[in-house]
Structure 1
Amino acid sequence: MTIAPSRSPAPSGATWQRADWASSFRNVGTELADVAVTASRGTIPAELCGSLYRNGPGRLERGGQWVHHPFDGDGMITALRFEGGEARLSNRFVRTEGWQAEESAGRFVYRGVFGTQKPGGALANAFDLRLKNIANTHVVRLGDQLLALWEAAEPHALDPHSLETRGLSRLDGVLKPGEAFSAHPRFDPGHRGAPRMVTFGVKSGPRSTIRLMEFATADDPAAGVQAGQLLAERHDTMAGFAFLHDFAITPNWAVFLQNAMAFNPLPYVLGQKGAAQCLASKPGEIGRFFLVPRPGSAAAERHAKPLEVPAPEGFVFHHLNAFEDEATGELVLDSIFYADFPSIGPGDDFRSVDFEAIPEGQLKRCRIDLERAATDPAGAVSSDWLEQRCCEFATVHPARQGREARFAWMAVTEQERGNAPLQAIEKLDLSSGERRVWCAGARSFVSEPVMVPRAGTGSEAASGPEDDGWLLCVVWNGARCASDLVILNAHDLSEQAVLELPLAIPHGLHGSWVAA
């Protein structure tokens, strides 16, 4: 393993301080519009041209009451635009119906999915089953709209430049009112011609239904196709409750992992818990892979129904990537496994969470023998660890989405074993196992790295190395009590620039890059 130069090397044996980590949890008190930001260290690459969008909770307290879990915080979009070696910063809350109502009331008027209660105790919360669409999980560009995503309902459409909220988007009638729309789309770089955005929605119950949807991401006048147009869809059902936060794609398959979860709605109905707190792992049971043939693919011609295969023991939020191994005929899926479902109980304070009591995420590779899956599902899967260091938010070069990738980048702990806050970025060679780590420093905490290919490497990354480009990462700086934007060379994790932002962005969720 190679250790890349740190931004502020910590003394040997130094550890993180809870006060630094927890200081990120705060209300964002300002909205900026097109403010120039300069590098406090290094130089912004002149070739970096486009916009980094980030989403995450920006309002965590109202009327003196804190959310029970950060995931209940109102969504705030941050945009950093790069051109000619310069950067400009904007941020804006998503003006959801719930945000506007609570801004006016000065208190919580909705229950949170992750346990936040309205004032008044269980009686005030009982039988109030409204879901507050907080638009706080991801942000992606589709056609002329920027979409703020929250997976239990429709996206909110924003202006890509001003970040002004246009309102709920049902994508030209594709979605019904209140229909679930994943916060984890996958962008097909062109497996069968033009690029697509592939996503899904879930209707969970004793039998759950997955709606798989594929959208055009660019105009094609010759074919009469506009960006944002629905190109294909299918509906499939599975037995049992489906808790699906993420999925993966290959040219032929959409790959889901149905975690072995049970949902008891009674405490939620009675106002005692949030809906997500009513989830629990099923003791002694394992999840299963649900392999859905993509519409119009060779798999769809061979299989009318999805393939179902037992998965290894553990719980998965996020997948790194999937691909079809032509040499072996296997479908390969790389995922971050936890030993159990990590949660924060009703009596816990998320700012005081005991990291050592929560299972860490570790990257595992699963190989699914597709031929054997049809006749002997139980014997169709093998698995191996790729990285046992605690990790999250893993990514590959965008052109390798759904294809075999050599490199992965991810947020990791500075310590090599056990759970702790994420304070470093790792580059992992998936072929050799070689690791390179950049450490943010003892008082800094990293978020999801976004890989930006160098312009001109081609959609297939064939005219240049797969690791030719940059990683953009928002870092919470506990010493400043504000956020930094760090630009790393994707090849060797050398630090290119640090931008000290005039903004304190709480620990966030997902983001995306849109080339100019």
Structure 2
Amino acid sequence: MDNSKKTPEIERYSGQFDQTDWSSAYCNVEKECTNIKLKLISGQVPPRLKGSFYRNGPGKLERNGQWVHHPFDGDGMITLMRFNNGEVTFSNRFVKTQAWEEEEKADKFLYRGVFGTKKTGLAISNFGDVRLKNIANTHVVKLGNKLLALWEAAGPHALDPETLETHGLSSLNGALSPKEAFSAHPRFDPGHHKDPRMVTFGVSTGPKSTIRLMEFATKGSNAGNLISDRKDSFNGFAFLHDFAITPNWAIFLQNAMDFNPLPFIIGQKGAAQCLSSKSDGKGKFWLIPRHSGSFSNQPAKIIDAPDGFVFHHLNAWEENQSVIIESIFYKDFPTIGPNEDFRNIDFNQLPAGILKRCRINLLTNETEQETLSTQCCEFAMVNPYFQGLSAKYCWMATAAKNIGNGPLQAIKKLNLINKGSCEWSSSPRGFVSEPLMVPEDSTGNEDDGWILVMTWNGKFQTNELVILNANNLSHQATLEVPIKIPYGLHGSWSDS
């Protein structure tokens, strides 16, 4: 049943949100829990929903009175919500990285953050210290019998998927060399070439950038083993957080960025604060043939991309002689300056993320673009079984108002064909993180399943887990989370 027929944009709450409600979610996680049964506030947990919902995000934002400059610099903390027979249990653990252990013992920042956090002490102590602290805070995925906490500038940390105990840095059975970068945004191929696999990458940046494209088995006795591997080099500095896949291609968008390392080297700025958009630059699509596809022995393709900055892609697929990719575009790179407080940012001064579709003609190397939704959005996803295929629906977190930037307060289901939509909103005093679509099975309708989303209730100063019907976003259940958790980044689902 399609409950997102083409209708005018929904009239949304347009009043001014309370900045204190929004910023009050930023805090340190003060407690680690083990298998606590979540209290049901309303509704009923669907009994057919069985499995584990993992989330990652910054859990340590302040040490001895000093706050991180940007929440992206906070140490990673994993949550696990296990669903079974209509009940949900909750566990959480910090990722015990070497740097986390050192800073816990010292009760101060011993490392600089990529997004501007400085070491505790005199400003001169930051001069010349270009070490990167692996904060393992961006994503969490299960690969074989290990849970991986990901941060894209370094290697993954392996955790026990049941207890969340940290086992240390992982080389993935020797696939990674020490200190090698490993993406925090893998894509899971549902089985375009018989067997499902995890497709991911690492990038070495500079005047010339090299992408290492890797594919890992996810099922059977060889789960976790590297099964394909290639490297491609491109001119220019690469700032890449995400990519997309089709059966034949891995698609990257090289944002038109400059990197001036001097302020980072002398201790004035974090590495990410040294990025700026090229006013006369042009972004590029890099299309790398997948080893399992029809063009595996061919070189990568380089094609001009539309103007704008992209963190996240929704999906991609192939159609005739074209590759279509859907992405969230910003007019410029959104950043928090050295003298700004992230808890008091003015959303009106930051560019809004807008979902757009690019059609890349592989014969002419020309690209056409169309806007799919004018509403500010982030964290968009399709049904995982449609990864790399033409999908009819997507689900995403959005601002509460129709136009302009704002905090994420609603979940929107968008029909990608006729652009009809429906939504569930937590405004005016609620705020959402990334929604996760859990399909009921691989054989039903594309929108059969559930949406899981962690929210922040500004009125009651608490986190809540909300379960929605993926078909029409009708409310299924709300459960109370026993501890306060800052806004998270990415999460994943593992069937029981």
Q: Identify the match of residue 470 of structure 2 among 459, 480, 490.
A: 490
Is 1:331 aligned to 2:323, yes or no?
A: yes
Mapping of residues 123-138 of structure 1, within 5 Å: 123-138=124-139
1:423 aligned residue = 409
State the alpha-carbon separation in 2 of the partners of residues 245 and 419 from structure 1: 21
Deviations 1:204-251 (A, max 9, x none): 00100000000000115xxxxx10000001000010100000000000
1:223 aligned residue = none
Q: Identify the match of residue 453 of structure 1 among 429, 439, 446.
A: 439
Is the CA contact (8 Å cut-off) linking 2:22 and 2:431 kept in structure 1?
Answer: yes
State the alpha-carbon separation in 2 of the partners of residues 67 and 430 from structure 1: 38
Mapping of residues 438-449 of structure 1, within 5 Å: 438-449=424-435
1:341 aligned residue = 333
Is 1:369 aligned to 2:361, yes or no?
A: yes
Q: Identify the match of residue 318 of structure 1 among 312, 322, 333.
A: 312
Q: Alpha-carbon deviation of 1:149?
A: 0.2
SS at match of 2:333: coil
SS at match of 1:20: helix
Q: How many residues align?
A: 490
Is the CA contact (8 Å cut-off) linking 2:12 and 2:402 kept in structure 1?
Answer: no
Q: Alpha-carbon deviation of 1:381?
A: 0.5
Q: Alpha-carbon deviation of 1:14?
A: 3.7
SS at match of 1:372: coil
SS at match of 2:324: strand
State the alpha-carbon separation in 2 of the partners of residues 486 and 179 from structure 1: 37
Could you say if the C-alpha distance between residues 478 and 3 of structure 1 is closer, same or farther in structure 2, counting changes exceeding 3 Å? farther
Q: Identify the match of residue 488 of structure 2 among 483, 493, 508.
A: 508
| 1:168 partner amino acid | L
State the alpha-carbon separation in 1 of the partners of residues 212 and 351 from structure 2: 31
SS at match of 2:52: strand
* TM-score normalized with structure 2 length: 0.97
Is 1:350 aligned to 2:342, yes or no?
A: yes
SS at match of 1:451: strand
| 1:358 partner amino acid | L
Is 1:228 aligned to 2:228, yes or no?
A: no
Is the CA contact (8 Å cut-off) linking 1:3 and 1:438 kept in structure 2?
Answer: no
1:7 aligned residue = none
State the alpha-carbon separation in 1 of the partners of residues 130 and 318 from structure 2: 42
Q: Alpha-carbon deviation of 1:3?
A: 9.8
Is the CA contact (8 Å cut-off) linking 2:432 and 2:456 kept in structure 1?
Answer: yes
Is 1:283 aligned to 2:275, yes or no?
A: no
Deviations 1:76-130 (A, max 9, x none): 0000000100110000100001100000001000000100001234311011111
Which ranges in structure 1 are unaligned for 5 or more consecutive residues? 5-9, 221-225, 374-379
Q: Identify the match of residue 451 of structure 2 among 461, 465, 471.
A: 471
Q: Alpha-carbon deviation of 1:433?
A: 0.8
State the alpha-carbon separation in 2 of the partners of residues 29 and 13 from structure 1: 34
Runs of 4+ more than 4 Å apart:
1-4, 10-13
Mapping of residues 2-151 of structure 1, within 5 Å: 14-151=15-152
2:368 aligned residue = 382
Q: Alpha-carbon deviation of 1:394?
A: 0.1
Mapping of residues 146-295 of structure 1, within 5 Å: 146-220=147-221, 226-295=222-291
Q: Alpha-carbon deviation of 1:11?
A: 11
SS at match of 1:298: coil
Could you say if the C-alpha distance between residues 2 and 419 of structure 1 is closer, same or farther in structure 2, counting changes exceeding 3 Å? farther
| 1:119 partner amino acid | T
Is the CA contact (8 Å cut-off) linking 1:471 and 1:488 kept in structure 2?
Answer: yes
State the alpha-carbon separation in 1 of the partners of residues 3 and 422 from structure 2: 5
State the alpha-carbon separation in 1 of the partners of residues 405 and 3 from structure 2: 21
Is the CA contact (8 Å cut-off) linking 2:13 and 2:428 kept in structure 1?
Answer: no
Is the CA contact (8 Å cut-off) linking 1:157 and 1:165 kept in structure 2?
Answer: yes
Q: Alpha-carbon deviation of 1:437?
A: 1.1
Q: Alpha-carbon deviation of 1:446?
A: 0.5
Is the CA contact (8 Å cut-off) linking 1:38 and 1:86 kept in structure 2?
Answer: no
* TM-score normalized with structure 1 length: 0.93
Deviations 1:351-403 (A, max 9, x none): 11110000000000000011222xxxxxx100100011000000000000000
State the alpha-carbon separation in 2 of the partners of residues 391 and 13 from structure 1: 15
Deviations 1:314-367 (A, max 9, x none): 0000000000013xx210000000000000010110011110000000000000
Aligned alpha-carbon RMSD (Å): 1.5
State the alpha-carbon separation in 2 of the partners of residues 98 and 361 from structure 1: 33
Is the CA contact (8 Å cut-off) linking 2:304 and 2:367 kept in structure 1?
Answer: yes
Which ranges in structure 2 are unaligned for 5 or more consecutive residues? 6-10
SS at match of 1:180: coil
SS at match of 1:418: coil
Q: Identify the match of residue 309 of structure 1 among 283, 287, 303.
A: 303
State the alpha-carbon separation in 2 of the partners of residues 505 and 151 from structure 1: 22
State the alpha-carbon separation in 1 of the partners of residues 434 and 390 from structure 2: 21
State the alpha-carbon separation in 2 of the partners of residues 71 and 55 from structure 1: 11
SS at match of 1:475: strand
Q: Alpha-carbon deviation of 1:275?
A: 0.6
2:8 aligned residue = none
Is the CA contact (8 Å cut-off) linking 1:3 and 1:437 kept in structure 2?
Answer: no
Q: Alpha-carbon deviation of 1:479?
A: 1.4
Could you say if the C-alpha distance between residues 13 and 238 of structure 1 is closer, same or farther in structure 2, counting changes exceeding 3 Å? closer
SS at match of 1:336: strand
| 2:351 partner amino acid | P
State the alpha-carbon separation in 2 of the partners of residues 258 and 11 from structure 1: 34
Percent identity between the two aligned chains: 57
2:383 aligned residue = 397
Deviations 1:185-220 (A, max 9, x none): 000000101000000000000100000000000115
Is the CA contact (8 Å cut-off) linking 1:286 and 1:314 kept in structure 2?
Answer: no
Q: Alpha-carbon deviation of 1:285?
A: 1.5
Q: Alpha-carbon deviation of 1:15?
A: 3.0
